[in-house]
Amino acid sequence: SPQHFQAASDELENKVILVTGAGDGIGRQAALSFAQCGATVILLGRTVKKLEAVYDEIEALGAPQPAIIPLDLKGATQQNYLDMAATIENQFGRLDGALLNAAHLGVLSQYVQIEEDLWDQLMQVNVKSQFLLSQALVPLMLKSDNASLVFTSSSVGKKGRAYWGGYSVSKFAIEGMSQVIADEFDKTGLRSNCINPGATRTLMRATAYPGEDPKTLKTPLDIMPNYLYLMSDASIGVTGTSLDAQAK
Ligand code: NDP
């Protein structure tokens, strides 16, 4: 099963993979794990220092040389995404995988107290930027024989939960976005799937659950098998699904 997928050390050799939110948390670990399996990873994120630290870690592993794309999804325009896709095409010629992982938690609150501008910010980062990113990347990914697009969902993206308002709604939108792409590009070789990481030891989780002992949680490394599975050729033909990284 995907949760127990064991990636070979050359599992992702010759693949070019973009990871958003690659500077911290799950995205950082995914970038490291993909590189460790031989992929050339493109690190996208907003805090350049963090991206540089991940870049150095990848170099230290002796993995293929990565690339860095600094971009804040909050302010980025459609032209920024098109330029990004053109840069990737010029530098690498293709894109075999994209993990759209970066997201904003926002403020958990009662539904009637959600502020309009905070709602707009959440939708900008968690939904609209994911639309613009995937729209810019799909034509490039279609040049690869078997490209894998992976969106990041959440358990509140499948079942709504009190106080998770805009974040929950944004993750439902991501499930829909992935399914639309999966259906539209079925038979082209481009597959699109969602991952729900489940409760994972990161800054975002600690912000959402300040009273929780982080040591009780799975680490980003623990949940990597699903991510490696979706990026590897083992998942060719799998599309339109939503995987739980911590499913038993
Ligand atoms: P973190 O907050 O630890 O990391 C998120 C990363 O995304 C950071 O590197 C951050 O950059 C980047 N990011 C955030 N906003 C922007 C932006 N506007 N532009 C560019 N980059 C941005 O989160 P997690 O690793 O926990 O979460 C990763 C994904 O998993 C998210 O989609 C989240 O919703 C989802 N998820 C996480 C769960 C968990 O328990 N951790 C559970 C369910 C879903 P910077 O470092 O500069 O802040």
Beta-ladder partners of 97: 17, 148
Q: What is the pTM of this model?
A: 0.98
| Side chain identity at residue 165, one-letter code | G
Q: How much is the average pLDDT of 165-175?
A: 98
Backbone angles phi and psi of 25, in degrees to 5 = 55, -135
CA distance 73 to 238: 28
What digits encode the pLDDT tens for the residues 86-141?
999 999 999 999 999 999 999 999 999 999 999 999 999 999 999 999 999 999 99
**Residues 12, 224: contact at Cβ < 8 Å?**
no
Q: Is 200 in the pocket of ligand 1 (CB under 6 A)?
A: yes
Provide the CATH number for the domain formed by 10-244 in this structure: 3.40.50.720
Alpha carbons 58 and 169: distance in angstroms, whole number? 35
Residue 173 in this model has a pLDDT that exceeds 90: yes
- Cβ proximity of 246 and 197 under 8 Å: yes
Spatial distance between the Cα atoms of 148 and 137, rounded to a whole number of angstroms: 11
Q: What residue ranges do the domains of the chain occupy?
A: 10-244
C-alpha–C-alpha distance, residues 94 and 143, integer Å: 6
Distance from Cα 196 to the centre of ligand 1, integer Å: 13
Q: Where are the alpha helices (DSSP H) in 19-141?
A: 25-36, 48-61, 78-92, 116-123, 129-141
Q: Is 154 in the pocket of ligand 1 (CB under 6 A)?
A: yes
The answer, yes or no, to whether any atom of ligand 1 lies below 6 A from the CB of 179, is no
Q: Note if 229 is an active site residue.
A: no
* Tokens encoding 217: 């949680």
Quote the pLDDT of residue 248: 81
What's residue 152's pLDDT? 98
> Could you report the per-residue pLDDT of 58-72, keeping only the tens digit for each?
999 999 999 999 999
Each residue's pLDDT tens digit, 144-161: 999 999 999 999 999 999
